[in-house]
Structure 1
Amino acid sequence: MEPKLIKEGYLVKKGTVLNSWKAVWVVLSEDGVEFFKKKTDSTPKGMIPLKGAVLTCPCQDFSKRTFVFKINTAKNQEHFFQATHLEERESWVKDIKRAISCLQGGKRFARKSTRRSIRLPDTVNLSEIYVQMRDQEDGIKELKLEKEKRVYNHCFTGGCVVDWLINKDKARNRPEALMLATGLLNEGFLQPAGDLSKDGAEGGAESAVLDEPDAFYYFADSGFFCEGYSSDEDGILKEEFRGNIIKQGCLLKQGHRRKNWKVRKFILRDDPAYIHYYDPTKGDEHLLGSIHLRGSVITAVEFVPDAKRYDVDGNLFEIITSDEKHYFLQAATVEERKEWIKAIQMVSKTGK
């Protein structure tokens, strides 16, 4: 019987020979993980057997990369993958762990709720705490904080995290709150912003979160960005990033000049209405471009002018901006295309 396909999508993978990171199409089945150079390729670049494998998440081998997980095979080969955002990483990790567990127990894969392994009491649910922290009314307030001629947007201090955990009866005292905050940091729900908090996270101390007013942190899926003191023109540019993140993930984008297709990470923000795109192998500080969506037209299309046939695998859609610029994108599935079109259309009508 052929192994059942469980999950597929774009991830960034570290090369096994070279240290370069590249976007690949990943297919998870019941007994292994295959990765392809392109979604349309029929032959994989490699296959990772899951029998006897061990998955590590969060993986902190790379201080400048977030949302990384590691698969160690039975033959002690290491494979590193990076997701574009927290929710995506959690989804992959959950399914891969379940597949490994089923192989060990001789069972067929079936999804069920599994608790992540962390050194916290069984009664603690970090996902629930994170959702409560993000609550607009009762959660931690995101602020604009300044330090050493830099402005940190959509962030908060380590002391605020500790105070909130105590005030909401999540912890009995500050040491217990620090342990809980460290769990949230290790699982990727919180991220360090600035040298002080990053040094604390990498220092190997019992508490990686610093209970200090100068240690800044931000939510993994927030609109965080850092800026130096700059001109009015730069201030206008930074205004693009102040909106809430509505949707994010990888899509194929057609280049304007060469007309080739490349995997890009897209982040959709609501107010002002922008979608920004990045090289997923380099992180969110490497912005490649932005599309102002106010007044744009977004529609599904069946073909793209100047596109090579073997580069197109369906699920196409087009963004036409108010100044008549055309952007052609490919989603991985029909459902994903519907979700992106719906989200972008909503933002284009309601955002500034």
Structure 2
Amino acid sequence: MGTGSEDKSVLKEGFLVKRGHVVHNWRVRWFVLKLDRLLYYKYESGKRNSCHRGTILLNNCIITCPYLEYENRPLVLKLQTTTSEEHFLEACMREERDEWATAIGAAVQKLNTNDAQTPSPPQDKSPTSLQLHNVNLSQVVDSMYDVHAGIRLCSHVEQGSSYTNCFSGSTVVDWLVFNKLALTRVDAVTLASTLLDEGSLRPIGIRSADALRNAALGEQFLDDSTALYSFSQSFHKRGSVKAEKSLSAVELSGKVVKRGYLLKQGHKVKNWKVRLFVLRVEPGFLHYYDPSKDDITPVGGISLRGCLVSALDDNGTPPGVKGKVQGNLFKIITQADTHYYIQAPTHKESMDWIKAIRQVT
């Protein structure tokens, strides 16, 4: 999400999914990063900052990114405050998660620099950490392959083809960094490239195979959520994943071109809820998910073949929209004449979504 242009104290703002403190459920909140704190709000009636839910003070805050303890939520970062309070926040994309971690980290570093009396945040010196210059590759592969703490095997679809028992390049890099087998993402790519070169990992699908064939040494492994890899066939099957067959398999097989949090008006009960929207091409579908649950099973989908998408007037509440919701609204009308009303947090995001959907239709 973009930064606030009206309030110069706002460094970054946007939707994140937050785990509750008392009841450990996940709820979408609107986050606002300021110089020394992170504020979060419940997004109500089309107003981003209408209901303040909490404040996270950033002084000496420790950031863990990626944080991979939640099996079905690979895009989480963890903040630990000076009072040892822990906050778990999930983004809609890896890039968005990393942008939040970088922005929060920069704010924390500036606070620490400005306060000469403040000690540096403690560094985790876990004895299980491996030094980069003395990595035991077989130990790394065994750890990755561990049935309990290793890399989770999944089914993925690339350009219409389905692959089982594999994982993405960015999943590997996240795992190596989180388990302190690499200090940075660049180090993790170097380590993964070595595993690829020696045959412990192998490319699956077009993107990763092309990179291995054509890229320069050190760039053959892709830190990318669409580049797929698997373990070498010499490994025994471990918790193999079977490809799921369902009615929605075809519509979910398209290439993902855009993801993000938007508000959608319900069809029966005309209330507005934040949903994770995923735009796919070939075939063209716009699916939406309940972010408090997962991004595996959509709660709904819109076939974009022959649909119309248009921006709605920002002056007043447009026809068909319930409540005092206005601004950054757009409408999708399907071939079956079903009307979907959607709101983006900013005008730019609304225009970006309209443009992306039109390219698919």
**Cα separation, 2, equivalents of 1:215 and 1:284:** 29
Percent identity over the alignment? 34
Return the match for 1:158 from 197, 201, 208: 201
Return the match for 1:251 from 249, 256, 262: 262
Q: Which amino acid aligns with 1:247?
A: K
Residues 164, 242 of structure 2: 8 Å contact kept: no
Match of 1:112 in 2: none
The answer to whether residue 70 in structure 2 is matched with residue 55 in structure 1 is no
Residues 14, 81 of structure 1: 8 Å contact kept: yes
**Cα separation, 2, equivalents of 1:284 and 1:226:** 18
The answer to whether residue 72 in structure 2 is matched with residue 64 in structure 1 is yes
**Cα separation, 2, equivalents of 1:226 and 1:304:** 47
**Cα separation, 2, equivalents of 1:77 and 1:3:** 28
Residues 321, 341 of structure 2: 8 Å contact kept: no
Pair 313,45 (structure 1): closer, same or farther in 2 beyond 3 Å: farther
Where does structure 2 lack aligned partners over 5 or more consecutive residues? Answer: 1-6, 116-129, 134-157, 170-195
Return the match for 1:88 from 69, 77, 96: 96
The answer to whether residue 295 in structure 2 is matched with residue 284 in structure 1 is yes
SS of aligned partner of 1:42? strand
| Cα distance per residue 1:117-165 (max 9 Å; x no partner) | x9768xxxxxxxxxxxxxxxxxx99953357xxxx89999932279866
Pair 251,215 (structure 1): closer, same or farther in 2 beyond 3 Å: farther
In the alignment of these two chains, the number of paired residues is 274
SS of aligned partner of 2:106? helix
SS of aligned partner of 1:332? coil
The answer to whether residue 75 in structure 2 is matched with residue 75 in structure 1 is no
Return the match for 1:145 from 163, 170, 175: 163
Q: Give the CA deviation at 1:192.
A: 9.1
Residues 158, 213 of structure 1: 8 Å contact kept: no
SS of aligned partner of 2:24? coil
The answer to whether residue 244 in structure 2 is matched with residue 228 in structure 1 is yes
**Cα separation, 2, equivalents of 1:86 and 1:240:** 23
| Cα distance per residue 1:289-336 (max 9 Å; x no partner) | 110111111111132425111xx1411000011111100000000000
Q: Give the CA deviation at 1:33.
A: 0.6
| Cα distance per residue 1:1-30 (max 9 Å; x no partner) | x97101111110000111111111111111
Residues 159, 213 of structure 1: 8 Å contact kept: no
| Cα distance per residue 1:213-249 (max 9 Å; x no partner) | 6799xxxxxxxx974356xxx3xx3111222111110
**Cα separation, 2, equivalents of 1:77 and 1:89:** 20
Pair 290,154 (structure 1): closer, same or farther in 2 beyond 3 Å: farther
Match of 1:10 in 2: 15
Return the match for 1:21 from 15, 26, 29: 26
**Cα separation, 1, equivalents of 2:168 and 2:255:** 10
Pair 259,104 (structure 1): closer, same or farther in 2 beyond 3 Å: same
Q: Which amino acid aligns with 1:267?
A: V
**Cα separation, 1, equivalents of 2:214 and 2:312:** 52
Q: Which amino acid aligns with 2:20?
A: G
**Cα separation, 1, equivalents of 2:218 and 2:233:** 18
What TM-score, normalized by structure 1, do the two folds share?
0.68
Which runs of structure 2 are paired with 1:1-352 in the superposition (5 Å)?
4-38=9-43, 40=47, 41-106=49-114, 144-145=162-163, 158-160=201-203, 168=215, 170=217, 189=225, 210-212=231-233, 227-229=243-245, 234=247, 237-302=248-313, 303-309=318-324, 312-348=325-361
Match of 1:220 in 2: none
Pair 314,58 (structure 1): closer, same or farther in 2 beyond 3 Å: same
Q: Which amino acid aligns with 1:144?
A: S
Residues 304, 328 of structure 1: 8 Å contact kept: no
Q: Give the CA deviation at 1:250.
A: 0.4
Pair 101,190 (structure 1): closer, same or farther in 2 beyond 3 Å: farther
Residues 168, 227 of structure 2: 8 Å contact kept: no
Q: Which amino acid aligns with 1:266?
A: F
**Cα separation, 2, equivalents of 1:105 and 1:339:** 38
SS of aligned partner of 2:322? coil
**Cα separation, 1, equivalents of 2:131 and 2:261:** 32
